[in-house]
């Protein structure tokens, strides 16, 4: 049985799915997981949503954050798992393994940022989906991954990308080295302009204001973007728009904010799902409930 046939069998019945996933191009010695959920009534023409976990590497939990959405809208949830044992620290996960432990640039085909696209291609070969493109959501460390993935790789496998509550951002400039910018990676001015033109949504909780937590990066390049994650999200959009003006090109990045919500992967998943599948942010009462507060 080949890999596609095994995956087709794993997805044959509705429910939660967790299977080992090997990406030989990325690194055969660093196995991954594919946590997924197939709702009742799902058919291969329905949407596919990738969900990228945070620094706790809790892909199964992040998958479960989307189960209500999957059941309501009959969408397939795919949550890649990057174990700490095989992808230790921010360099291997948030920063996509672009450079190795010695600071040397790795071939782009081996970056972790390429894994979701190849995972989608395998699910397509298995007949699990007929969709050519998927949605992709990342929260916290997963948002660091998602936002830099958009800057560095082919976005065509994805119809929409949301980076929610990122810890800090890769700036769309060749004048600063990775991971602060995208300099030193062989990209060109045309690449930067193409990235600015592609719609990227930055989703930020307005109460994500922690400045001292263990997961809040305090390296100088991150602090230069703001003291907290909410400030950094606003800084990114201002920087991207200014860079687009300087170049005389459009910027189709946008910032959506979630009132009352802090660094909460479940709540931000619900906000993103509303944007994608209901066409708007949750109303004030629902936003307050997600934030754990009584409606005003």
CATH number, domain containing residue 196: 3.40.50.1820
- Residue-level pLDDT at 214: 84
* Mean pLDDT of the region 93-122: 95
In this prediction, residues 264-282 reach a mean pLDDT of 97
| In a domain? residue 296 | no
The per-residue DSSP string of 71-96 comes to HHHT-EEEEEE--TTTS-HHHHTTTT
pLDDT in tens, 142-168: 999 999 999 999 999 999 999 999 999
Contact 112, 97 (CB under 8 A): yes
Distances (CA, A) of 98 to 90, 114, 169: 11, 11, 15
pLDDT tens track for 187-232: 999 999 999 999 999 999 999 999 988 889 999 999 999 999 999 9
Q: Exposed e or buried b for every residue in 66-88, given b needs 16+ CB within 10 A?
A: beebbeebbbbbbbbbbeeebbe
Low-confidence winner among 59-73, 100-114, 118-132 (lowest mean pLDDT):
100-114
Is there a domain that residue 209 lies in?
Answer: yes
Summarize the confidence of residues 33-60 as an average pLDDT. 98
Nearest to 119 by CA among 151, 82, 165: 82
pLDDT for 136 beyond 60 = yes
293 pLDDT higher than 70: no
d(CA 32, CA 87): 9
Domain membership of residue 77 (yes or no) is yes
- Residue 155: inside a domain: yes
pLDDT confidence tier of residue 28, bands split at 50, 70 and 90: confident
**Residue 295 included in any domain:** no
Q: Is the pLDDT of residue 3 over 90?
A: no
What percentage of the chain carries pLDDT values higher than 70? Answer: 98
Overall size of the chain counted in residues:
296
Task: Report the pLDDT value the prediction gives residue 1, as an integer from 0 to 100.
Answer: 67
CA–CA separation, 189 and 208 (whole Å): 33
Three-class secondary structure of residue 142 per DSSP: helix
Q: Is residue 239 part of a domain?
A: yes
- In angstroms, rounded to a whole number, what is the distance separating the alpha carbons of residues 158 and 117? 8
- Number of domains the chain is built from: 1
| Alpha carbons 159 and 10: distance in angstroms, whole number | 25
177: containing domain: 3-290
């Amino acid at each position: 049985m080949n890999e596609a046939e095994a995956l087709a069998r794993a997805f044959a019945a509705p429910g939660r799915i967790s299977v080992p996933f090997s990406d030989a191009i990325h690194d055969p010695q660093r196995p991954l997981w594919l946590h997924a959920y197939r709702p009742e009534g799902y058919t291969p023409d329905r949407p596919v949503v990738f969900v990228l976990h945070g620094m706790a590497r809790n892909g199964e939990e992040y998958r479960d954050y989307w189960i209500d959405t999957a059941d309501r809208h009959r969408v397939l949830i795919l949550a890649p798992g990057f174990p700490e044992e095989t992808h230790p620290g921010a360099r291997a996960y948030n920063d996509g393994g672009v450079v190795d432990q010695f600071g040397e640039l790795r071939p782009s085909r081996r970056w972790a940022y390429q894994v979701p696209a190849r995972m989608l291609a395998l699910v397509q070969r298995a007949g699990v989906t007929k969709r050519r493109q998927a949605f992709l959501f990342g929260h916290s460390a997963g948002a660091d991954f998602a936002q830099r993935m958009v800057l560095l790789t082919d976005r065509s496998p994805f119809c929409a990308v949301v980076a929610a509550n990122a810890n800090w951002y890769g700036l769309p400039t060749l004048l600063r080295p990775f991971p602060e910018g995208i300099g030193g990676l062989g990209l060109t001015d045309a690449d930067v302009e193409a990235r600015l033109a592609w719609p990227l949504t930055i989703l930020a909780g307005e109460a994500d204001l922690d400045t001292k937590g263990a997961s809040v990066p305090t390296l100088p390049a991150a602090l230069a973007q703001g003291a907290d994650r909410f400030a950094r999200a606003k800084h990114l959009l201002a920087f991207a728009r200014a860079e687009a003006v300087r170049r005389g090109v459009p910027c189709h990045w946008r910032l959506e904010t979630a009132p009352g919500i802090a660094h909460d992967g479940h709540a931000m998943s619900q906000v993103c799902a509303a944007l994608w599948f209901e066409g708007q942010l949750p109303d004030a009462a629902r936003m307050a409930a997600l934030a754990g507060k009584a409606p005003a």
